[in-house]
Structure 1
């Protein structure tokens, strides 16, 4: 077997390219976002470990005016679009941040993490303080935020301040890249401080609304939180979810890319095994593999050619939201789970615009969350041969790895929950 230098756990595009790690070319995403012109705000939602963070790193390296990235993109798909590269590559003042690490058991600790993320972002742009064009008032606010001494109001206004200062400095509109935007509110919902964190995130996201300094923005997350919940008033908002087909080629691996990996690694004999375990996701019109699983298994095969497939994806999240649904729903959904684990499908209403405060308001939301976070996928319409009610989807378990998760983790949660269910009605009926 050939060594491919697999970059498991590395989401830094520049590091992957400069240090010779194996890279599946997803640079066509740049052209797709710019064609025919970029939307003011593009929200991309995909399950975890489907390449969102690496994609955002690639976009940052392509657009950021502080970088010189031509050698990083040499030989990749986007480099063939010479006119586009000449116009856009390293031509945009770029703000890039991720909320992945914002977590805490209470609001105070999570807010401290959030202010640290914002502080680190500002410290990367301290050169702005040298400009004679930027007002002393803005510089004072900048220093307060960079030194983690800002008020709550200054934190909420921080992205507007930073983009405004950058436009003044460069004389160009700013690109804003926000990765894992929904992590702070998801963690807050799990730990009981949802309203407080939502208020802060709403303030930060005002940078997407009527911001004269903003050229365009790309935002990623696992779930599409209802627009009125966190993106209130945002105009020209384009959403791309797993039900859409425009960008799904760029998140996850499609069949030709997996075939390329197997050919390059000289392990084509593992094709069917990898397909059985890690394929099966139907995103829009695309059939997609989980890239995290494929890369981890290929890396394992390089160390041990006899290695069996394993569930790499299940260990990358605490799955708290799934557990909370099981505690809430009780035994009413067990029959549907049995159908899924028997290889069948269920038909459910799907809501792609959820709000965390009403997440447990209906059983349908459970299936929506399982679908949006990658535990279930849609059955192909040509396979069904039946008409579905408006807004509903036929859902099934995508592959052997997820089936194993259901057979172990999910069933264990149900067993734990069953011990606490109130059986008084059953006893009274008997």
Structure 2
């Protein structure tokens, strides 16, 4: 009889007590402990088993589970190690998670964090009556409430460690799950500078000046720049997706996935690999995200976008939508199944995300939306990688995301697609002006350089074409043909469809008197540069090649053809 699958269950104790489906990752406990690092921060994509592993750590080390080692860990790899057995249930453990800290402003974020700290302190309420804890510290414990000031909040975990050491005579272990969630939300919400100051004080008090800390383990998605958050934490060991350490401790290996499929009588291994494989950790390829595999097993082999749709993907969408023309042009290559060589960094500087392509690719790689086939280290923390979209599930997510950029516009994006296929220029012009009117601001970074903003929109529009017409056309942009580089080319997959060339051109008041002149300039460029040459060389007759000039001045668009 197969084990029941508890989708979404992240409580290790509950999984073991009920004999739910579980893939043994307990070797991580021994590897981490014997590594002897004081404070470790491990970065992995979301839904990658981080919280379950942290719950496993708590169950192994915490005094709360003393004497339950055989029940919880019997038959698992860590329990074969006699030295590790003696450590089970022997330490006070503080386990908190920032996963729920998702707010639109700094005030609400701080309310969430203080509530988490107050709940953590409430678990050790017995310390208030412990005669081993000094009266001074007991008075300090009483000040830990949801309405406490920021200084008190920053020192909560330090204080708890001190009180636990006085009570038990042992230093405490701290487990902090999803440490970077508040920072992702702060960047998206525009209050990063406010929150980063508090987080710096919190990390300093908890992990640097905490004399009663035995060891600490943090998990997150991204390595936030050390100089902005982890200032002076010289003993901090950061393990990213580029690192070899603990490479198979999070996520499922291919062997683990295939064994699980055999257990549940599922045979389509090649299809599952296409959909859910692709993550690379260190030198370990063929890592699968646990969330998709668990849902796939539970739904008896039903293929869906489980991991990619398990969050709103809002920050990713925001960065790509408002990204530069260069970023969108490179992303077009990825969206069509290609790969690109790009520089990435291990750490994320949130302040750079709106202006640095390197920062965006680094975030997408760390988050699991992109994977790398190769990596060459330039220097510590900097790499040249060959990047591609991780797998089919992630590609579908990106396509849906791009499509949503335009779906809610009153300009009717579908109407533009129909008009384009029908060669109805008047309708095309009406629709694209409507789409631009209602979605243009979404492509605006709000930065100082506003000259690129119209082009950000129109290159985003090209991505939309790629998604909606992918079944009928091979769409490319900024490629060489004839004597220049065209903006957009639609090469038909079916002999019954016409090919399309589009040239975008911004109105320049110094060179042109009207948008009509700009349209003519765009059309003249298509002809003079012989952009149709690449299509003709593939056997497409010239009469089947439609040519459009799109002239734009901000949100206003005029279209002509030849």
Q: Which of 193, 196, 199 is equivalent to 2:194? A: 196
Specify the alignment match of 1:384 in structure 2. Answer: none
Which structure has greater strand proportion?
2
135-144 vs 174-183, which moves further: 135-144
Specify the alignment match of 1:368 in structure 2. Answer: 362
Specify the alignment match of 2:525 in structure 1. Answer: none
Between 1 and 2, higher relative CO (CA 8 Å, sep ≥ 6) is seen in 1
Contact 2:223 2:347 in 1 (8 A): yes
Q: Counterparts of 1:231-270 in structure 2 under 5 Å?
A: 231-267=230-266, 269-270=267-268
Specify the alignment match of 1:222 in structure 2. Answer: 221
In structure 1, what is the Cα distance between the partners aligned to 2:505 and 2:258?
56
Instruction: Indicate the SS of the match to 1:312.
Output: coil
Q: Which of 255, 277, 280 is equivalent to 2:278? A: 280
Specify the alignment match of 2:179 in structure 1. Answer: 181
In structure 1, what is the Cα distance between the partners aligned to 2:60 and 2:278?
31
Residue 395 (structure 2) pairs with residue 403 (structure 1): yes
How far the C-alpha of 1:41 sits from its partner, in A, is 0.7
| Alpha-carbon spacing, 1:414–1:394, altered in 2? closer, same or farther (3 Å) | farther
Instruction: Indicate the SS of the match to 2:107.
Output: helix
Residue 161 (structure 2) pairs with residue 172 (structure 1): no
In structure 1, what is the Cα distance between the partners aligned to 2:82 and 2:128?
35
224-233 vs 324-333, which moves further: 324-333
Specify the alignment match of 2:207 in structure 1. Answer: 208
In structure 1, what is the Cα distance between the partners aligned to 2:378 and 2:159?
47
Instruction: Indicate the SS of the match to 1:66.
Output: helix
Q: Paired residues, what number? A: 415
Q: CA RMSD in A?
A: 2.0
In structure 1, what is the Cα distance between the partners aligned to 2:136 and 2:57?
32
| Alpha-carbon spacing, 1:192–1:334, altered in 2? closer, same or farther (3 Å) | closer
In structure 1, what is the Cα distance between the partners aligned to 2:248 and 2:55?
17
How far the C-alpha of 1:3 sits from its partner, in A, is 4.2
Instruction: Indicate the SS of the match to 2:175.
Output: strand
TM-score, with normalisation over the residues of structure 1? Answer: 0.92
Instruction: Indicate the SS of the match to 1:116.
Output: helix
Q: Counterparts of 1:24-103 in structure 2 under 5 Å?
A: 24-35=23-34, 37-68=35-66, 69-70=68-69, 71-86=71-86, 88-103=87-102
Instruction: Indicate the SS of the match to 2:242.
Output: coil
Residue 343 (structure 2) pairs with residue 349 (structure 1): yes
In structure 2, what is the Cα distance between the partners aligned to 1:210 and 1:38?
19
In structure 1, what is the Cα distance between the partners aligned to 2:282 and 2:372?
9
TM-score, with normalisation over the residues of structure 2? Answer: 0.71
In structure 2, what is the Cα distance between the partners aligned to 1:183 and 1:227?
16
1:11-36 Cα shifts (integer Å, max 9, x gaps)? 0000101112111000000111022x
Instruction: Indicate the SS of the match to 1:350.
Output: strand
Specify the alignment match of 2:154 in structure 1. Answer: 156
Give the gaps of 5 or more residues in structure 2: 410-434, 441-452, 456-503, 512-517, 519-562
Which is higher, the Rg of structure 1 or of structure 2? 2
